[in-house]
Structure 1
Amino acid sequence: MQRYILSLLTLFLLIPAAAQPKYEVRAAWVTAVYGLDWPRSKATTTPESIRRQQKELTDILDKLKAANFNTVLFQTRTRGDVIYKSSIEPFNSILTGKTGGDPGYDPLAFAVLECHKRGMECHAWMVTIPLGNRRHVASLGNQSVTKKRKEICVAYKNEYFLNPGHPSTKEYLMKLVREVVTRYDVDGVHFDYLRYPENAPRFPDSYDFKRYGKGRSLAQWRRDNLTDIVRYIYKGVKEIKPWVKVSTCPVGKYKDTSRYSSRGWNAFNTVYQDPQGWLGEGIQDQIYPMLYFRQNNFYPFVLDWQEQSNGRQVIPGLGIYFLHPDEGNWIREDIDRQINFVRSHGLAGEAHYRVQYLMDNTQGIYDELEENFYRYPALQPPMPWLDNEAPTAPSDLRISPEGNGCLLLTWQAATDNDRMNMPRYVIYASDTYPVDTTNPENIIAQNVRGTQYTYAPIYPWTEKIYFAVTAVDRYGNEGKAVQGF
C-alpha cells in the first residue's frame, strides 16, 4: 500500500502546477521569541531606537507584500509575556532588553496598522500553555502568572505550564484574548502550543484528574480539557467580533491513517489534541497543522486534514527552515511539490515557518514564490459558515489623471449586511473590457479602505487601461464589480 501511494504521488507531482488560485491564504509566521525573526535591535528611550525597531518590521512586511503574501501571523504572546501593552502580563524583554520594559510604542498596534496599509491581514499569534523554564519565569518576578495565579500553573521537567485541567485556565487565557480582540483591529487570533508536553504521562495533574475526570481515561480527560479551552475561547471571540478568525497550529499528524503511519508521534496520542474534533464541532475557522515533513510523511496527512475539515480552512504549515543546512537536508523542490499538492487538492493555502528564511531567500525560496507561485495576488477565502452575504457593488467609478502618470480612482461606497464594518475594496485593471474579475492577474490592490485609490502604473502609459472595483466584507464575501475606464 505504501509503495503504491508513493508511486501515485510521484506520478502526480510530475504534472505541471495548476493556475494560481484567486482565493488562497499565503501566510508567514513572524517569530518574536528570542528575536528569531524580529526584533533584532532594542527600543530604548530614544526615538531613533524606536524607529529602527519599527523599520525592521516594516522591511519584513514590505518584502512579504512584494511577494503577494496576504497573511501575517505576528507573535503576540510568547511564554507568560507579551508584545503589546497589556494589563495582565509584562512586555517581553526582547523589545527593550528589560522584562516589562516599555518600548515607547505598542508593537501589536503598529503591526496591525502596517499590515493593513499593505492590504495584508494581521493575526495575533499567541503561545498558550507553556510559560518557560525556571530561569525565564524567575526573570518575570512578581509579574509572572506563576506568582499572580499560582493555582492554575504547574512545574514539569524544569519548566512551567498553565494547567489545562484546571477550570480557571480557560478563563485566564480568554482574558488575554479578550484584551487583544477588544483593543486591536486584528483579523485573527492564532493559538500555538495548545497542547500538553510531549509524552507526559507524569504531568502533575493527578489531583485535578481525580476531581474532574468523572470516569474518563486520563488521555480522554486531557483531550477534553484542551477541547473545552478551544470551545470557550472560540465562543468568546465570536461574541466580541464574529469576523475575527480563530485558528490553531496543531501537531501536523493527527493520528495514524489508513494511508500511512504517524509512527506513534501525533496530535491525538502524543500531546492530547483533538483538532479534527474541533473542526467537526465548528470551533475553528482555520487550522494550520505543522506539517514540517516531506514526501509520504506529508502528502497522506494533508489529505487526512482536508477530508476531515468540515468545510473549514486547512492551511498546512510548511517547514521551510529545513532548507537551511543547519536545520535539515531539504531541497527547494520539496517545498515546490508541497505547494503544488496543496493547491491541486483544494486546500485553503499554506503558511511558511518561519519568515527569516523568506527574508534570507534560503535556497531561492523567496524568489520562487515571488516569481512563480505567488506571482499574482490572492484574496482571502470566504467563511460562509459565519456569513455568506456579499456587499452590494460600489457605484459611479470615476478615473482621472493625477499627475506623474498616476490615475485617481473614486467610487461611491458599497453597503453590507454587517453594520459593524465598512466593506473593503479590491481594485482590478486590464487592457480588455469588461475587466475579468475572476482572473487574479488583474488584481492590483486589495483591502483598500475608503472610496478612492491612486494607481501608479509600473510602465509608461501606452494604451487605455480599464478598471473594476468590488467590495469585500470581513468574512471574505466579494460582491459584484463596478467597471470603468
Structure 2
Amino acid sequence: MKTALLSTLLALSLAGAQPVPIPAGAPLELRGLWVDAFGPGLKTPAEIDKLVSDARALNVNVLFAQVGRRGDCYCDHAAMPRTDDPAVPEGFDPLAYLIEKAHPLGIQVHAWIITTAIWNSAAPPKSPDHAFNRHGPDKQGRDNWLMKKFDGTVKGGADWLLDPGHPDAAEYIRNMYVSVVKNYDVDGIQFDRVRYPDYNPVGGPNGWGYNETALERYRAETGAQGTPAPEDPAWAAWRRTQVTNLVRDTALAVKAVRPDVSVNAATITYGAGPTTDEGFRATRTYNEVLQDWLTWVRGGYLDVNVMMNYKRDFVPEQAAWFNTWAAYAGGLKVRSPGAGVTQVSGAAIYLNDPRSTLAQVRKTRTSGLGWAGYSYRTPDADVNAGKRTAEEALPQLILNLAGPGGPFAAPARWARPDPQAFRAVRGTLTAATGPLGGREVRLLDERGAVLALTTTNAAGGYGFLRVPGRGVRVEASGVSSSLVTAPAGRVTDLAPLALP
C-alpha cells in the first residue's frame, strides 16, 4: 500500500542514493519532464543537482528545460541576454551546468524556449540589447515587432508578444534557437507558444496579428485591400503559414548547424481531438490559435511532436478528449511514417491527482506514444493548489511511476536523431517583379511528380526536410532548378531560383 510513510521512506532513500547512468542496452522510449523557470528547479547548482537526481529516480530520459522564458536566457552564451532573475547566482550558467550533470547519466537536455512571449513586467529589462527594449511598444514602424489585436489590445494577458508575421521578429526568433545550439551541447530544442495568442472566442476566430508591418506584408503578398477581419479565411491562412514557415526555417537553420539535434514543439490540443487528418482542420488548435502542427509532422519539420494533452483524467469529458488526441497521434505514426516524427503525449500532472497521472501514463504507453509530464515544480494538483509542497509530492510520483510494478520501473533510454537518416534542401527565390513572400514552391522528383509543397517567407526563403536520397528539383512559377541529390547528414543550399 502506497502510504505517506512509504513515500517518506522513499524520499529518505533517494536522498542518500548516487544516481547511476541509464544502461546502454535499455530499450528506447521517450520519457520526458518539463522543468519550468517560473520557480525553483534549474536556477542554482543545488537545484540542478536535485533535479537530475530526481529525474534519474523517476526513470525519465529527457528534460525539457526552460532556458528561454521571455526574451532572456538562463545561460551566458545566446542571442538573448542573460536572465535578470535574481535567483540565478552571478557567474553561474544554469544550462551549461545542467548539461554537465545530466549527460553522464544518459539524460538528455532539450532547450525549451518560449517562442513569442517577450516581456511581462512594468519595469523594462536591464539589458539594452533585450528585444523588448529595442523593438517594444515605444518603437514605431518596422522597428516595432509586437503583436497587436484587432481591437487594439497590445498584450496577451500580462505578456507582450512578438508577431511571427513580422520578418525581423521571425528572424530574431530563429536566431534564439540557433544561438543555443551553436554554443551548448543540447540534445534538442523545443518551441513553446509557437502560434498566435489566446484570448479569443472558443473555436476562433483568432483576433491577433495586426502588427502594421505584418499587415503590409499580407496586403503585398495577397493583393488584399484594407484591414482584414479576424474571421477572413485568407487572413487566417496567411497567419497560419507564418507560424509554419517559422518552424520550418528554424528547423533548417538548427539542422544546418547540428543535424543530430532534435527539433521538437510543445503543441496545442484544446478541447476535443480529431479522428482524421481532415478533421484536424476543424479543431480549436487550427482555428483558435492558428497552429497547423499536422503540416509540421507531415513535412518532417519536427523530430518530436510533444502534444500538450493537458486534461484532467477524473473529469469524464476531458478523459475522453485525452484519449482521442492520443489515438489521433498514434494514427499519425502509421499514416506519415516517412516523416520520422516521434509522437509524445504531454500530460498535465499539475492538474491531476497521483492516481489519475498513473492512469494517463498507462493509456499513453498503450497508444504507442512517448510521455512527458508538466511539470517538475508542480508534480500534482495539490502542489499546484498550494495544499502541499513539491518536496512532499515528488516521492509519491516517483514511487507510482518508477517503483515496483510501475510503468517506468525499468529504465529506458532516448537517442538523438541519426544524421545519416536526414536530408534537406533550402534556397531562396529572386523575382523581377512582385513580392518574394507567399509564393508556392514545389519539390519534384526526377519524373516531375510532386513530393511536397511549401510557401516562401518574406525574403523568398523556402526549404524541404526529409528529402529522399535520389534526384530532386524545386519549381516555382514555372521556373525549375537543376536536378540535385541531397547528401545525407546535412542541409543542402541550392542556387537562387530567379523568377521573371
For the criterion TM > 0.5, the same-fold answer is: yes
Partner SS state of residue 160, structure 2 = strand
Change (3 A) 1:166 1:81: same
User: 1:171 Cα deviation (Å)?
Assistant: 1.6
Distance between the aligned counterparts of 1:146 and 1:92, measured in 2? Answer: 13
Of 421, 424, 438, which aligns to 1:387?
Answer: 421
Change (3 A) 1:140 1:193: farther
User: 1:134 Cα deviation (Å)?
Assistant: 4.6
CA contact (8 A) 1:76 1:84 kept: yes
Q: Does 1:152 align with 2:181?
A: no
User: 1:350 Cα deviation (Å)?
Assistant: 0.4
**Cα shift readout 1:80-129 (whole Å, capped 9, x = no counterpart):** 111011353322222447xxxx7212211111111102210111111110
Counterpart of 1:121?
108
Counterpart of 1:31?
36
Distance between the aligned counterparts of 1:301 and 1:206, measured in 2? Answer: 36
Distance between the aligned counterparts of 1:130 and 1:118, measured in 2? Answer: 33
User: 1:253 Cα deviation (Å)?
Assistant: 4.1
Q: 5 Å matches for 1:64-103?
A: 64-86=55-77, 88-96=79-87, 103=90
Partner SS state of residue 298, structure 1 = helix
Percent of residue pairs identical: 25
- Amino acid in structure 2 at the alignment position of 1:162: L
Change (3 A) 1:276 1:201: same
Distance between the aligned counterparts of 1:188 and 1:382, measured in 2? Answer: 8
Change (3 A) 1:249 1:59: same
**Cα shift readout 1:161-195 (whole Å, capped 9, x = no counterpart):** 11100122222122222211111110000111111
Q: Does 1:283 align with 2:286?
A: no
Counterpart of 1:22?
27
Equivalent pairs, count: 342
Q: Does 1:374 align with 2:398?
A: no
Counterpart of 1:230?
247
Q: Does 1:175 align with 2:175?
A: yes
- Amino acid in structure 2 at the alignment position of 1:340: R
User: 1:245 Cα deviation (Å)?
Assistant: 0.1
- Amino acid in structure 2 at the alignment position of 1:31: D
RMSD: 2.9
Of 285, 289, 296, which aligns to 1:271?
Answer: 289
Q: Does 1:205 align with 2:182?
A: no
- Amino acid in structure 1 at the alignment position of 2:375: R
Change (3 A) 1:169 1:108: same
Change (3 A) 1:79 1:103: same
Counterpart of 1:307?
331
CA contact (8 A) 2:75 2:94 kept: yes
Counterpart of 1:338?
360
CA contact (8 A) 1:27 1:73 kept: yes
**Cα shift readout 1:58-101 (whole Å, capped 9, x = no counterpart):** 1111111122211111111000111011353322222447xxxx
CA contact (8 A) 2:84 2:125 kept: no
**Cα shift readout 1:241-285 (whole Å, capped 9, x = no counterpart):** 0000000101124975249x99x8722111110111100011000
Change (3 A) 1:196 1:386: farther
Q: 5 Å matches for 1:28-67?
A: 28-33=33-38, 35-39=39-43, 53-67=44-58
**Cα shift readout 1:322-367 (whole Å, capped 9, x = no counterpart):** 13xxxxxxx33322222222212212x1001000244533592221
Q: Does 1:133 align with 2:120?
A: yes
CA contact (8 A) 2:41 2:51 kept: no
**Cα shift readout 1:372-403 (whole Å, capped 9, x = no counterpart):** 12111112167568539xxxxxxxxxxxxxxx
CA contact (8 A) 1:276 1:305 kept: no
Counterpart of 2:23?
none
- Amino acid in structure 2 at the alignment position of 1:28: L
Partner SS state of residue 231, structure 1 = helix
- Amino acid in structure 1 at the alignment position of 2:210: P
Distance between the aligned counterparts of 2:218 and 2:323, measured in 1? Answer: 39
What stretches of structure 1 move > 3 A for 4+ residues in a row? 36-39, 213-216, 253-256, 357-360, 381-386
Distance between the aligned counterparts of 2:186 and 2:272, measured in 1? Answer: 32
- Amino acid in structure 2 at the alignment position of 1:300: T
Counterpart of 2:372?
351
User: 1:210 Cα deviation (Å)?
Assistant: 4.2
Partner SS state of residue 72, structure 1 = strand
Change (3 A) 1:77 1:222: same
CA contact (8 A) 1:130 1:162 kept: yes
CA contact (8 A) 2:77 2:183 kept: no
Distance between the aligned counterparts of 1:127 and 1:87, measured in 2? Answer: 14
The TM-score, its normalising length taken from structure 2, stands at 0.63
Unmatched tracts of structure 1, length 5 or more: 1-20, 40-52, 324-330, 389-473, 475-485
Q: Does 1:111 align with 2:104?
A: no
Distance between the aligned counterparts of 1:254 and 1:387, measured in 2? Answer: 35
- Amino acid in structure 2 at the alignment position of 1:317: G
**Cα shift readout 1:425-472 (whole Å, capped 9, x = no counterpart):** xxxxxxxxxxxxxxxxxxxxxxxxxxxxxxxxxxxxxxxxxxxxxxxx
Partner SS state of residue 152, structure 1 = coil
Counterpart of 1:316?
345
- Amino acid in structure 1 at the alignment position of 2:408: Y
Distance between the aligned counterparts of 2:105 and 2:62, measured in 1? Answer: 10
Change (3 A) 1:162 1:32: same
**Cα shift readout 1:8-27 (whole Å, capped 9, x = no counterpart):** xxxxxxxxxxxxx9221111
Partner SS state of residue 264, structure 2 = strand
CA contact (8 A) 2:68 2:114 kept: yes
- Amino acid in structure 2 at the alignment position of 1:174: R
- Amino acid in structure 1 at the alignment position of 2:322: F
Partner SS state of residue 185, structure 1 = coil
